Copies of this chain bind each other. A is one copy, B any other.
Amino acid sequence: MDTNLEQVMQIASVAFNRYKTFSRQQKASFLYAIADEILAASEALIQQAKEETNISATQLAGELKRTVFQWHSFARLLEEGSWVEARIDTANLERLPVAKPDVRKMLQPLGIVAVFGASNFPFAYSTLGGDTASALAAGCAVVVKGHPAHPLTSRLSAELILKAATRTGMPEGLFAHVEGLGFEIGKELVLHPLTKAVGFTGSLRGGRALFDMASQRPEPIPVFAEMGSINPVILMPEKLQNEGGEVAQRYLQSITAGMGQFCTNPGLLIGVAGEGLDVFVKELANGMTQVAPAAMLNAGIYQNYEGKRTIVTSQEGVRIDAESQLPKSGIIQAIPTLASVDATYFLSNPLLHQEVFGPFSLLVICQDLAEMQKVIEHLEGQISCTIMATEQELLANKEIVERLRAISGRLIFNGVPTGVEVGYAMQHGGPYPASTDARFGAVGQDAIKRFVRPASYQNCPDFLLPDELKNDNPLGIWRMVDNVLTQ
């Protein structure tokens, strides 16, 4: 055991217990202060992240805005207060054969949360990201393992949180940042008895390894890992017949934006052979040749892209329809690529179902709708599925819609999967292997639910109850009182 980590955990545990006594307003002011620090340091953050990730300043500026929005939205959630799901079942002393006690319940924080950020969102899903924000909002302490692919951005981010913590009088050690290139520090963090939950965004291999460690602990703890997804897109024939060219343009943009390094990148297109699909493919392929190669996040991700791309395109039946024809202007630059394969090959070869993280998409060509249905039935769990279809096609193919619904966290109609709205209604995460736990998501206010558990009070005197459960509802929150929602 790293003595430094041991110390971090002990201090975080003390801080967690103190933080529990803070009011929702105090916690909200901490979250707002973090947002302020981010805004004040935005230039330095963007500069640092640009150097470490090759992401464009424009994209980073957008991500930073989203990050600030996330902190604000959790702060507002705390101020409003109803998220604790207060339930009150009042007593009935006359009930026979035994009196009915007064029982009250609300959500309370789990303890220390370990956060492993994403390489592809150095702000919104790394140290300053949704996992940290939702865990602190939930009332938990947080220990982040700085991402080795952007260590300085992560360190700068941590400094901002610590500054805000000091400024708003938070207990020392409530948030901590640990560093280490290897696997060891992460393993120690997940196995530490004081760690009560884990947030992770990254690869299936990494997420599953953490999940296995966590579930084999003497006291198992939940791991919320957002992992890979190929985000299948169903291209219905009539839709393509009507607007194949426009659909191709939207997907050209979606597949290659950010060099395809989004977890919602559409990596699998499924269409039915025919005139509409021909138009779509031609337009998409033409466009792909004109998208310039650009640097990926880092050398590891580039090598992974090239490796996976080579594996997939060298499988039996796979054709390369288009590759960028523009020259590379530097190292670790990915070549945007469109490949295609007939459904029979896809159905019999699991290697074609894997994610190729980057500006790559595989088109599966089906002979008819029946074969398309078969392909869909062979898909695993996904963060998102998309269907491009006319109203007629949606009405006539409810089974396809139902099947896509069953395997996905988010089902998109006539749009692209990239671009994840941050809000109550968003579900980011889906059935395994998209996530380790499809019952929760990492984006939006409901992400807070990952780090809490319900706790009941029976016949507790009013003066000892948390404000959320007191008789006169001093916080004015929504509560379920004797089976009725009231405020």
Give A469 to B410 CA distance when docked, in angstroms. 14
Cβ-closest chain B residue relative to A485: B478
Known: A89-B426, A415-B459. A454 touches B441 (CB 8 A): yes
A408: which B residues are within 8 A, CB to CB?
455
Q: Check A105 against B464 for contact (C-beta < 8 Å).
A: no
**B residues within 8 A CB of A62?**
97
Determine the chain B residues whose CB is within 8 A of the CB of A452 once the complex forms.
Answer: 439
CB of B424 within 8 A of CB of A458, answer no
A118-126, A325-333, A429-437 - interface stretch: A429-437
Interface residues of A in 406-435 (CB under 8 A from B): 408-415, 419, 421, 423-427, 431-433
B425 to A88, Cβ gap below 8 A?
A: yes
**Chain B residues whose C-beta falls within 8 Å of the C-beta of A426 in the assembled complex:** 89, 103, 105, 456
- Tell me the bound Cα distance from A124 to B23 in angstroms: 40
B-side contacts of A412, CB under 8 Å: 458-459
Binds B, one of A144-152, A182-190, A215-223, A280-288: A215-223
- A405-B455, A419-B98, A455-B409 in contact; A424/B105 too (CB < 8 A)? yes
Cβ of A475: which chain B residues have Cβ within 8 Å of it?
none
On whether the beta carbons of B459 and A103 are closer than 8 Å, the reply is: no
| A82 close to chain B: CB less than 8 A | yes
**Which single residue of chain B is at the shortest CB-CB distance from A391?**
B461
Which residues of A come within 8 Å of B, CB atoms? 17, 20, 62, 82, 87-89, 97-98, 100-101, 103-105, 108, 110, 211-212, 215-216, 219-220, 222, 381, 391, 394-395, 398, 401-402, 405, 408-415, 419, 421, 423-427, 431-433, 436-441, 446, 452-461, 463-464, 478, 480, 483, 485
